[in-house]
Amino acid sequence: MKVSIYAFVVLLAYASLLRIGAEELEQSQQTERISGSAGDVLEDDPVGRLKVFVYDLPSKYNKKILQKDPRCLNHMFAAEIYMHRFLLSSPVRTLNPEEADWFYTPVYTTCDLTPNGLPLPFKSPRMMRSAIQLISSNWPYWNRTAGADHFFVTPHDFGACFHYQEEKAIERGILSLLQRATLVQTFGQRNHVCLKEGSITIPPYAPPQKMQSHLIPPDTPRSIFVYFRGLFYDVSNDPEGGYYARGARASVWENFKDNPLFDISTEHPVTYYEDMQRAVFCLCPLGWAPWSPRLVEGVVFGCIPVIIADDIVLPFADAIPWEEIGVFVAEKDVPNLDAILTSIPPEVILRKQRLLANPSMKQAMLFPQPAQPGDAFHQILNGLARKLPHDNSIYLNPGEKILDWNAGPSGDLKPW
């Protein structure tokens, strides 16, 4: 009896010790997560937190397309190409697919360019489908999870809806084969068909060297109040106005074209980058799609971005505190833009400028070659790492089929 009581007490003591130990572990995990709040997360290093396997697709999906048109390296959709190159030589890459957390498929869907340099999305669904057919037949990993641990870079206007016109894109919806995969795209708008839950929004590609070469001394006084260069009316596709940019850009022009505080015009000057560095606010209104490279340029040049796009999802929204850096104006408030901007207290403006001057913010928006710590490539990997570990439910039971390989418009089903 005494022995049993003694044993019971020992057991209790041991159990309490275990509990204390467990609590300590939990606390240390909690402190790790707390430090991952917006701002600090920018400095996270993804190496060691995830492993990515790069499928070896035949060159007709990537290299040959690039050879046919090397302009793809410089336009704003070039992120897909540079992401591929980065992953090939990155320490997160693994050659053993069994230990990989994420799988990457290097297919350049935004590289079929018109003579003017604009990408045509008409063949992209077929290209993507053909690539997925290839990986699902040559490797078992796609069928294992129906693509839930695969990610794709789709930087086109409306992401994986693969169309430049919004109505058509909504009609098409996201390619059905990609419904379980993670999409890394530039498009982001809340409650929109073309933004899947769990997508990672990235900035469009802007050439880092070109921007660096146009830097002016930071003590040059900022003497332009609001700056914008771009179209207000898209005359060849929407001559009456009201369609393009949901009428917001036209409204900016009509209300502020004779206002001396607003330096807005359609002329694209040689000193465009230098002018942005001399401006306090840079307008970033939506166009045919809500995102634009102006956001990247504004952040790099220290000009406070004024975002006029309802419900937009900005790049790396879980890592960058956009509310504190930029000014958000609803599209219906555009006629009062001057009142809104002048009523911001100067301390708030100075604070925003100090936040913008933070080099890690600028680095997170860029795709430099070779990759540097804290740049957009690393933020993408951080985003992927934050989605780990994969839930066990993504693994399909044998014989279970989720994806319908024949869904979608008949034009998509033709082989590429």
Partner 1 sequence: MKLWMMQQNLNNRRNNNFRVNGILDSGVEGVYKSPPALFYFVLHGLFCLFSLVMGFRFARLIIFLFLSTNNNSTSITDYLYNTTTTPILTSPTVITTNVANGLTLDSPPATPTLQNPDTVSNQSTPVSTGSHIIVGRHGIQIRAWPHPDPIEVMKAHRIMERVQAGQRLLYGIKNPKPLIVITPTYVRTFQNLHLTGLMHSLMLAPYNVTWIVVEAGGPTRETAALLAKSGCRTIHIGFDQRMPILWEDRHRMESRMRLRALRVVRDQRLDGIVVFGDDSNIHSKELFDEIQSVKWIGAVSVGILAHSGNPDEQGDENSPLPVQGPACNSSGNLVGWNTFNPLSHGEKIGDNETVLPMKLEWAGFVLNSRLVWKEAEGKPEWVKDLETLENDGGDLESPLSLLKNGSVVEPLGSCGSKVLLWWLRVEAREDGKFPSGWIADSPSEITSGKKVGGTQEHKGKHTDKTG
* 39-74 b/e (C-beta count within 10 Å ≥ 16 → b): eebbebebeeebbbbbbebeeebbeebbeeeeebee
The nearest distance, CB 8 to partner 1, in angstroms, is: 58
What does 100-154 look like in DSSP terms, one character per residue? -SEEE----TT--B-TTSPBP-SSHHHHHHHHHHHHHHH-SHHHHHTTTTEEEE-
Q: Are strands 200-201 and 224-229 parallel, antiparallel or unpaired?
A: unpaired
Q: Which is nearer to partner 1, 287 or 383 (CB)?
A: 287
CA dihedral 269, 272, 276, 279 (to 10 degrees): -20
**Residue 196 beta carbon to partner 1: minimum distance, rounded to whole angstroms:** 12
Exposed (0-12), middle (13-18) or buried (19+): which is 341, by Cβ within 10 Å? buried
Q: Measured from the CB atom, is 130 or 353 closer to partner 1?
A: 353
Strand pairing report for 52-54 and 279-285? unpaired
Is residue 110 within 8 Å of 122, Cβ to Cβ?
no
Closer of 159 and 383 to partner 1 (Cβ): 159
* Residue 167 one-letter amino acid: E
Phi, psi (rounded to 5 degrees) for 250? -60, -35
Min. distance of Cβ 350 from partner 1 in angstroms?
5
| Phi, psi dihedral angles at 256 (to 5 degrees) | -125, 15
> From the CB of 224, what's the least distance to partner 1, in Å?
9
C-beta closer to partner 1: residue 96 or 342: 342
Q: How far is the CB of 344 from partner 1 (least distance, A)?
A: 8
> CB-wise, 33 or 190, nearer to partner 1?
190
Whether the Cβ atoms of residue 264 and residue 346 lie closer than 8 Å to each other: no
Min CB(334)–partner 1 separation in Å: 6
Quote the least distance from Cβ 305 to partner 1, whole Å.
15
Closer residue to partner 1 in complex, CB, 104/228: 228
Nearer to partner 1, 62 or 189 (CB): 189
Give residues in contact with partner 1 (CB under 8 A): 114, 116, 118, 157, 164-168, 170, 189-193, 217-219, 221-223, 225, 231, 233-237, 239-243, 246-247, 250-251, 254-256, 258-261, 266, 268, 280, 288, 310-311, 332, 334-336, 338-339, 341-344, 346, 349-350, 353-354, 357
- Name the DSSP class of 374: T
